[in-house]
Amino acid sequence: MTQALAGLKVLELGQLIAGPFAGKTLADFGADVIKVEPPGDGDPLRKWRLLHEGTSVWWQVQSRNKKSVALDLRSDEGRDAVRALAAEADVLIENFKPGTLEKWGLGYETLSAANPGLIMLRISGYGQSGPYKDLPGFAVVAEAMGGLRHLTGEPGRVPVRCGVSIGDTLAALHGVIGVLLALQARQKTGRGQVVDVALYEAVFNCMESLLPEYSAFGAVRQPAGSALPGIAPSNAYRCADGQAVIGGNGDSIFRRLMQAIGRDDLAQDPGLADNALRVQRVDEIDAAITTWTVQRPVADVVAALQAASVPVGRIYTVADIAADPHYRARGMIQRITSAEGLALDVPGVVPCLSDTPGAIRRRAPRLGEDNGQGFDAA
């Protein structure tokens, strides 16, 4: 079955997370992605976290469906090779510090002169313009500047980070959206363009009501642990053998939740009839729920509330994910074999398309495995 992006030619110059995640997403849906890596050690991600025979198992996910070409972009020969590939490409992805490609003679004006239809996705800490553009920017800083880090953690304590590099991933996904928009525009104009994604802006774009609440009321949202301020009840609750998350913030859902935990008095209380009223008494509501959950194991809490059509779930570890039948039924866990012969479970392809689904077509490449090959090579 033809994939949605079959025939799209993508040249990936980025490394580590943000740029390569964008490349992976395009590759999963059929794009022909050539990843350019520096000779020697290649992309640093090859050596990050847990390794098998010297290669990160993360690499097997981030670089699946891609080809690897080893080129030294600091050499004339390497830059000439990139120019030749860019002349054929539909999309070029890079996440270097702004100005780096221009220093190498590989800026957009230069490459688009030879290929006017070229779309260049540029991911950086602060974007290609503005007073901070030349500062080094990693996701950890972007998450802080974008407003996310201030909200994570418990009140009065040092903020914690999300356990993954969420700023990089958000930037990558915004980058993919930008590429798809630019491809749509190119169908009308015949011209490519630059997609400029800043890590902090990708985070900021997901901060919901943060800015308008400050603008209108001077309200500075504060960290609230596992709760979601202004929405009640929605929290993580202690159980006899762990924790469960419960979302009972819809009006009818709240009534069913209260009835399920034996608190019909709260279900019928007119002072809790809508979210605005419940927010004023959220501590009382959370205490009532905890009194019920703490006496029961997680499995019983989940079963009882699912039976009442209340959104509920236990907090998964990766072991829970690997064992969950729904993940398997949805194709969200796939088995691959690495270049080193390791059989490995990896995340499936998201999103699910009914007619032109994505797929894992080939394993992650060894460094320079596709040297000398172009976009049309098998």
For the cut 60, the answer to whether the pLDDT of residue 377 exceeds it is no
* Angstrom distances, CA of residue 229 to CA of 64, 221, 249, 285: 39, 8, 11, 14
Task: State the pLDDT at residue 303.
Answer: 98
- Predicted confidence band of residue 378 (pLDDT cuts 50, 70, 90): very low
Task: State the pLDDT at residue 241.
Answer: 96
Q: Which fold has domain 9-205+328-347?
A: Rossmann fold (3.40.50)
Contact of 15 with 54, CB cutoff 8 Å:
no
Neighbours of 159 (CB within 10 A): 14
Positive or negative CA dihedral for 318, 319, 325, 329?
Answer: positive
pLDDT exceeding 70 applies to what percent of the chain? 99
Torsion of CA 209, 212, 214, 220, to 10 degrees: 10
Query: Which residues are known catalytic residues?
Result: 168
Contact of 32 with 7, CB cutoff 8 Å:
yes
Per-residue model confidence as pLDDT tens digits over 65-119: 999 999 999 999 999 999 999 999 999 999 999 999 999 999 999 999 999 999 9
DSSP 126: S
Contact of 205 with 174, CB cutoff 8 Å:
yes
| Phi, psi angle pair for 147, to nearest 5° | 100, -10
The residues, any chain, with a CB within 8 Å of residue 181's CB and separated by 6 or more, are: 195
Per-residue model confidence as pLDDT tens digits over 142-155: 999 999 999 998 89
Task: For 234-315, give the CATH class.
Answer: alpha beta
Of 122-136, 202-216, 217-231, give the lowest mean pLDDT range.
Answer: 217-231
DSSP 46: G
State the number of CA atoms in the 13 A half-sphere of 44 facing the CB: 5
Task: State the pLDDT at residue 93.
Answer: 98
Task: State the pLDDT at residue 1.
Answer: 66
Contact of 27 with 10, CB cutoff 8 Å:
yes
Positive or negative CA dihedral for 253, 271, 231, 244?
Answer: negative
Angle formed by the axes of helices 18-28 and 166-189, to 10°? 60
For the cut 50, the answer to whether the pLDDT of residue 311 exceeds it is yes
- Predicted confidence band of residue 10 (pLDDT cuts 50, 70, 90): very high
Q: Model's pTM, two decimal places?
A: 0.94
Compute the mean pLDDT over every residue in the chain, rounded to the nearest whole number.
96
CA distance 236 to 222: 18
The residues, any chain, with a CB within 8 Å of residue 343's CB and separated by 6 or more, are: 335, 336, 337
DSSP 232: S
For the cut 60, the answer to whether the pLDDT of residue 24 exceeds it is yes
Domain chopping of the chain, boundaries: 9-205+328-347, 234-315
Question: Which strand (E) or helix (H) includes residue 186?
Answer: helix 166-189
Per-residue model confidence as pLDDT tens digits over 185-223: 999 999 999 999 999 999 999 999 999 999 999 999 999
pLDDT exceeding 90 applies to what percent of the chain? 93
CA distance 30 to 7: 7
